[in-house]
Amino acid sequence: MPPISEQNRQPSTTSLSSKGDKVIDPSTYFSTHVPPSNLNASKILVSEFVSKNSKINRPVVLVTSGGTTVPLENNTVRFIDNFSNGNRGAASTERLLEEGYAVIFMHREHSLQPYNRHYTHSAERFLDYFVAGENGEVQINLKYKEKIQTDFEKYSKAINNNQLLMVTFVTLSDYLFLLREVSLTLAAMKRNAMFYLAAAVSDFFIPSHNMSEHKIQSREGNLTLEMNQVPKFLKPLVMNWAPDSYIVSFKLETDPELLVPKARHALSNYGHQIVIANMLHTRKTEVWLIEDKKESHHLQLDSKEAANGVDIELLIIQELVKRHKEWINKN
């Protein structure tokens, strides 16, 4: 049963909403915050990657993945984080590579990564993949060898063929600066570029000039936080940074009544191509693909697929690649 009504309702505000302070615009954000120290290095890598793939006419997709942190202090000891572990982005990247796309995998440092995710974040501990050989030297445990061999081949092929580039962020600010740079570079590929914005990006932050410079001291008593709304970056992305590209945003909710209305609201506000809507607790087994003026399209793993560990990203990417191709031809 879809958790959502298909009526075109506007999202309601909640009693938890902020006090209605003015939201700053994206350009003010960039002029009042310091770019991350790795920005230039990432920019050079992205630019080389896009140029190499553009020469061979290979479509390129930016996949954003994992959650952003929101620091509470400029010299950060404490920060606010969210639930996202980056599985969606990593699994989608594997499928996109198989579909022939080149992928810029822009992910939260230490979150799940394509192919590696099966070992770094699995139920086994990493060193359990190995055993001691006859002379005590390390060998891969035979139980895992075939799977490791397959994943290793796919991963190294993607890296060596310039089909996969990994760049990282940690904080909300890192993410926003990097997103702008990558978007402006990728925009050159026009319709051959896709944006797959699966990262869980904070909606609230503390502007750098309002943050404590040093570690907040407990002797000052209870801590009250006032957070500002993050400017809506999808708008400049769609309108200015990459106006000719295929843009896929994600919408996550926990209240089923809000999911489709908010996804449709995003489409009409930003004018991009598609929103993938998902609920927190069922995100691994079902999603809705929502395009403007069309019925939403429900994708769901059946119980057998789910039990056999099939990723729903298989269905998502099949459907998206088809839609991206149709959109290129139509335009």
Q: Which residues bind ligand PAZ (CB under 6 A)?
A: 66, 84-88, 198, 200-201, 250-252, 278, 283
Phi, psi of 30 (to 5 degrees): -65, -30
Q: Would you tell me the crossing angle of helices 142-160 and 87-98 to the nearest 10 degrees?
A: 70
Instruction: Using the minimum distance from each CB to ligand PAZ, give the nearer residue, 52 or 284.
Output: 284
Does the CA dihedral 119-179-201-2 come out positive or negative?
negative
Q: Half-sphere exposure (CA, 13 Å, Cβ side) for 77?
A: 7
Instruction: Using the minimum distance from each CB to ligand PAZ, give the nearer residue, 117 or 324.
Output: 117
Answer for the pair 173, 185: CB distance below 8 angstroms, yes or no. Answer: no
Instruction: Using the minimum distance from each CB to ligand PAZ, give the nearer residue, 233 or 250.
Output: 250
What is the nearest approach in angstroms of ligand PAZ to the Cβ of residue 154? 20
What is the nearest approach in angstroms of ligand PAZ to the Cβ of residue 66? 6
Phi, psi of 105 (to 5 degrees): -95, 95
Instruction: Using the minimum distance from each CB to ligand PAZ, give the nearer residue, 158 or 230.
Output: 230
Q: Would you tell me the crossing angle of helices 39-55 and 172-186 to the nearest 10 degrees?
A: 30
**In sequence order, which residues have a C-beta less than 8 Å from that of residue 78 and are 6 or more positions away?**
71, 72, 215, 216
Instruction: Using the minimum distance from each CB to ligand PAZ, give the nearer residue, 36 or 67.
Output: 67
**In sequence order, which residues have a C-beta less than 8 Å from that of residue 8 and are 6 or more positions away?**
261, 264
Instruction: Using the minimum distance from each CB to ligand PAZ, give the nearer residue, 272 or 283.
Output: 283
What is the nearest approach in angstroms of ligand PAZ to the Cβ of residue 325? 23
How many whole angstroms separate alpha carbon 180 and alpha carbon 250?
Answer: 18
What is the nearest approach in angstroms of ligand PAZ to the Cβ of residue 301? 14
What is the nearest approach in angstroms of ligand PAZ to the Cβ of residue 113? 12
Instruction: Using the minimum distance from each CB to ligand PAZ, give the nearer residue, 50 or 97.
Output: 97
Closest CA to 321 of 200, 234, 161, 192: 192
What is the nearest approach in angstroms of ligand PAZ to the Cβ of residue 121? 11
What is the nearest approach in angstroms of ligand PAZ to the Cβ of residue 162? 26
* Strands of the 60-65 sheet, one edge to the other: 164-169, 102-108, 60-65, 193-197, 246-253, 274-279, 286-290, 297-300
| H and E: helices and strands count for the chain | 10, 14
Instruction: Using the minimum distance from each CB to ligand PAZ, give the nearer residue, 198 or 267.
Output: 198
DSSP label of 27: H
What is the nearest approach in angstroms of ligand PAZ to the Cβ of residue 2? 17
